[in-house]
Amino acid sequence: MALHIHEAWILLFVLPGLVTPAAINHEDYPTDEGDQTSSNDNLIFDDYRGKGCVDDSGFVYKLGERFFPGHSNCPCVCTEDGPVCDQPECPKIHPKCTKVEHNGCCPECKEVRNFCEYHGKNYKILEEFKPSPCEWCRCEPSNEVHCVVADCAVPECVNPVYEPEQCCPVCKNGPNCFAGTTIIPAGIEVKVDDCNICHCHNGDWWKPAQCSKRECQGKQAL
């Protein structure tokens, strides 16, 4: 009985050595998914160098053929050295342009600003406005604002006042001048005290009044 057990152990150690790699059938084992797709990664693409040109969308053009490589590119001619493209002198974009398109060879202005900006406010072309009582302005077609400031005449009084929404001061009580510290109306002689009669200079309202002494009419001494 002990002899049979010893022989069985000998067979277990000998049999694995008899199994060779050729005896294993690889069809019985599924190939790894990564190994299956690795052979498809090495795709072969056509080489168009010296034969043609390709645009942005992958379209192939023959040698000597004229084409546009992209939507915003200038026209090109396909050569053996690659595309040779036109480089025209594009017109300058208007400085007031607010919308520029680049769909062609040269950029195009599609919208020009049609208003003027002045002190944070927008005005239409040819619109007239008064930013202050003394200014008159207009929005020009060049999108620039031109203003004229009123030139006020010298008031004919020594106490002019500014009325709301009026640029220049006005003499509400008419022309006048100073006789000392007293304001007297122009055009008449005014007795400013018991001894002096004064009148304003004609046309020179800012000058002090001309005064002349008369016989004083003070109280007689008792």
The whole-number pLDDT of residue 128 equals 95
In a domain, 7, yes or no: no
Residues 91 and 145 in one domain: no
Residue 27 in domain: no
pLDDT of residue 221: 40
Are 103 and 130 part of one and the same domain? Answer: no
211 and 159 within one domain: yes
Are 147 and 131 a contacting pair, CB within 8 Å? yes
Give me 34's structure tokens: 């990564």
Residue 174 structural domain: 154-216
- Whether residue 139 is found in the same domain as residue 167: no
Pairing of strands 182-185, 190-191: unpaired
Q: What is the pLDDT of residues 72-99, one digit of tens each?
A: 678 888 988 888 887 778 888 877 787 8
Neighbouring residues of 67: CB distance < 8 A, sequence distance ≥ 6:
53, 55, 59, 61, 75, 76, 78, 83
pLDDT of residue 216: 74
Q: Give pTM, 2 decimals.
A: 0.39
pLDDT digits (tens, 9 = 90+) for 91-128: 888 777 878 887 778 888 887 778 898 998 999 999 99
Domain of 144, CATH number, reads 2.10.70
Neighbours of 139 (CB within 10 A): 22
Beta bridge partners of 211: 198
Do 142 and 194 fall into the same domain? no
Do 82 and 68 share a structural domain?
A: yes
For residue 16, being part of any structural domain is answered with no
Number of domains in the chain: 3
Is 194 among the domain residues? Answer: yes
Residue 49 has a pLDDT of: 62
Is the CB of residue 137 less than 8 Å from the CB of residue 185?
A: no
Per-residue model confidence (pLDDT) at position 217: 62
Beta strands in 76-129 (DSSP E): 76-79, 82-85, 97-101, 108-112, 115-118, 121-124, 128-129
Q: Are residues 140 and 161 in the same domain?
A: no
- Structural domain contains residue 91: yes
> Per the domain annotation, does 24 fall within a domain?
no
Query: Is residue 221 assigned to a domain?
Result: no
Query: Residues 81, 100: one domain?
Result: yes
pLDDT reported for residue 198: 92
181 plus 199 within the same structural domain: yes
With a cut of 50, which residues of the chain have pLDDT below it?
Answer: 1-45, 219-222
Measured CA to CA, the distance from residue 137 to residue 118 in angstroms comes to: 10
- CA distances to 52, 116, 126, 133, 168 from 146, rounded to whole Å, are 59, 10, 10, 16, 21
The vertex-154 CA angle with 148 and 158, nearest 5°, equals 135
158/205 same-domain check: yes
Report yes or no on 78 lying in a domain: yes
pLDDT at 47: 57
- The pLDDT of residue 123: 93
What is the pLDDT at residue 46? 54
92 in the same domain as 140: no
Residues 6 or more apart from 101 whose CB is under 8 A from it?
Answer: 107, 108, 110
Structure confidence at residue 133 (pLDDT) = 86
